[in-house]
Structure 1
């Protein structure tokens, strides 16, 4: 197998593998629509996104009509599979595989572009990790606007005077997890290519500087929209104490774990260096945001706590809920995030970087993104209470 890949080239082998997967699922969906598309692709991947984009609690396949059933728990068998917004174990595994394949593709692209200074790329892409979470909150604001509009119309408010929805289906599907990860991925990829071009043909700076500038500008525009929404929309709030609690809490957790690593077992971080600190902080944001959003909102804002979206998160909270007090239900999730981040730092040692620095850094970018993206979303969603 390795001889075959060497003969045709790893880039062509990757493209052929992706094309083969697309062909298998494409033809399978056409020839065996019910089995391949409805019961697998739609049920686990597109159905949850469709239901979320429509603002439904669930969606039924119904021979391709995709309708909202009267009851999500008692759907006639003839309507086919039923999908609910959010993730399942199957979908999370599927998206992890897709992410890995995409990372390999990006690593190959970087080779073609002759991009080096991989650690610098890690920091240049950092604002995009915030951008993904902030962009998801744009959809949360949009969903809340749709709910308010529906309530106003039901109460007799004329359509012209009711609250408007910024983005409607199908465009809002690009802002819904997990499709939003692909949206951010391609935006970041475009920014990277543009930054490499600028560094070689326009400015006399390494590519990570224009990359960071482009990413920061996109992030500022997104945060600016959220700030405008909180200032002008009565259904969007602003609780700075929530933002402070998450940022300060995450920084304290990161500092504590980092201190232990540096003073008890510094060998853990010889490979990642300061990138290890970023990884810890990113996943601390995710863990602390869950504690604040799921357990502390009533204490900080006087409003009800939010709910978890991910299966692993919900499982941990459900299990700990029978043991710990209500204000600490999500605390074990924070511990899991810190332990997992520390383990990642330990695994990515000097040998891994020496063997494949390009792909290693891409993996670390993805690891930070899957922590800081959801963490930023949860933090801003709780701050704006949407």
Structure 2
């Protein structure tokens, strides 16, 4: 067995597995279109994108055709396969599997480029996480314009590139292109380190996206501007991250040994997500922003359980989404504690990428949530 494993190139095995999985989906979609394409790919992945991108309440797949439905009653009475905007348990688990598999592939790429061990790599990718959340907000703004004026800012299916799960691929390829350009610039001596242009490109992409949202808020009546949401979210997350750092450094310093200031950013990013959700779901009327409903499975479950266990008077006073914030903070601190020195020593690139992914799954949605509320989308 050892001889066989030694002869297998892990990178080639990864490519072979990726090609095999894609081939199986393509062949299955043609051979069994109702079961594989309609019942799996469309139902859990493309259908929610169609419903979201067109501003519909749901999308119906029946007889190999797609219909868009605009009312909850129609969606409840619809036959065939019905997909609503947002995530399901199947799609969430599938994204997790694809994420881990993709991380392995990126590790092979980083090994080939001989980069990815440095902590500067982590910080240089931070702007791209903000960019991903802001880009998703652009699609939200486009849908809002469609519902209000009848014309979207970005027409579907192009807007599908900014909706989950396709937006992950969009941001990934933008980041990959920026990384390759930055590495090439560093190796040609144009910059001292590749992290500098990489961070600069990500910052420019994020700033451009925010500028576009600001332009829409000024030139249209569809978007508003509620700076209190951004202030509470960002200042609150900064205070929580700072207190978490001070507290752990004083009482449990071992928590931060492996990650250092990277851990502070992880806690900050997930706290942004937690605060943005609480404000959007429980304090919308007080802040003068549109009311929202949870799209994530975990968030929905927490709200449902809290509503069932918490007295109604308390729910009316403080809402039911607040435990999500503490879950996010606790989970982030746990992750920071788990990423000790040994993990980084055994597999520095994979550990670094996994930490990037952990921050991204919190900060990306969090950025989208607080920007949506800030611009009243």
TM tier, smaller:
over 0.9
- 1:307 is displaced (CA, Å) by 1.8
Who is 2:112 aligned against? 112
**Structure 1-normalised TM-score?**
0.92
1:74 maps onto 2:77 in alignment: yes
Secondary structure of the corresponding residue to residue 76 of structure 2: coil
Who is 1:359 aligned against? 350
- 1:300 is displaced (CA, Å) by 2.2
1:274 maps onto 2:277 in alignment: no
Query: In 1, Cα distance between the equivalents of 2:281 and 2:83?
Result: 24
- 1:2 is displaced (CA, Å) by 6.5
- 1:42 is displaced (CA, Å) by 1.2
Secondary structure of the corresponding residue to residue 61 of structure 1: strand
Indicate conservation of the 8 Å contact 2:124/2:195, yes or no.
yes
Indicate conservation of the 8 Å contact 2:240/2:271, yes or no.
yes
Who is 1:254 aligned against? 241
Indicate conservation of the 8 Å contact 2:87/2:296, yes or no.
yes
Who is 1:343 aligned against? 334
- 1:253 is displaced (CA, Å) by 1.8
1:208 maps onto 2:198 in alignment: no
Query: In 2, Cα distance between the equivalents of 1:5 and 1:16?
Result: 15
Indicate conservation of the 8 Å contact 2:290/2:376, yes or no.
no
Gaps of 5+ in 2: none
Query: In 2, Cα distance between the equivalents of 1:59 and 1:189?
Result: 33
Secondary structure of the corresponding residue to residue 68 of structure 2: coil
1:24 maps onto 2:10 in alignment: no
Query: In 2, Cα distance between the equivalents of 1:62 and 1:281?
Result: 44
Distance 1:260 1:182, change over 3 A: same
Distance 1:117 1:205, change over 3 A: farther
Indicate conservation of the 8 Å contact 1:306/1:382, yes or no.
no
Pairs within 5 Å for 1:54-203: 54-69=54-69, 71-76=74-79, 80-150=80-150, 164-203=151-190
Distance 1:332 1:197, change over 3 A: same
Query: In 2, Cα distance between the equivalents of 1:5 and 1:148?
Result: 59
Choose from 194, 208, 213 the match for 1:226. Answer: 213
**Structure 2-normalised TM-score?**
0.94
Secondary structure of the corresponding residue to residue 67 of structure 1: strand
Who is 2:303 aligned against? 317
Q: CA deviation digits over 1:313-362, x for unaligned, max 9?
A: 11111221341423332110000001110111111111100000001100
Query: In 1, Cα distance between the equivalents of 2:321 and 2:2?
Result: 46
Q: CA deviation digits over 1:13-42, x for unaligned, max 9?
A: 000011111111211111111112211111
**Corresponding pairs, count:** 369
Query: In 1, Cα distance between the equivalents of 2:211 and 2:351?
Result: 33
Indicate conservation of the 8 Å contact 1:5/1:13, yes or no.
no
1:292 maps onto 2:283 in alignment: no
Q: Which of 264-273 and 350-359 deviates more?
A: 264-273
Gaps of 5+ in 1: 151-163
Indicate conservation of the 8 Å contact 2:281/2:321, yes or no.
yes
Q: CA deviation digits over 1:159-196, x for unaligned, max 9?
A: xxxxx422111100001122211111111111111100
- 1:116 is displaced (CA, Å) by 4.5
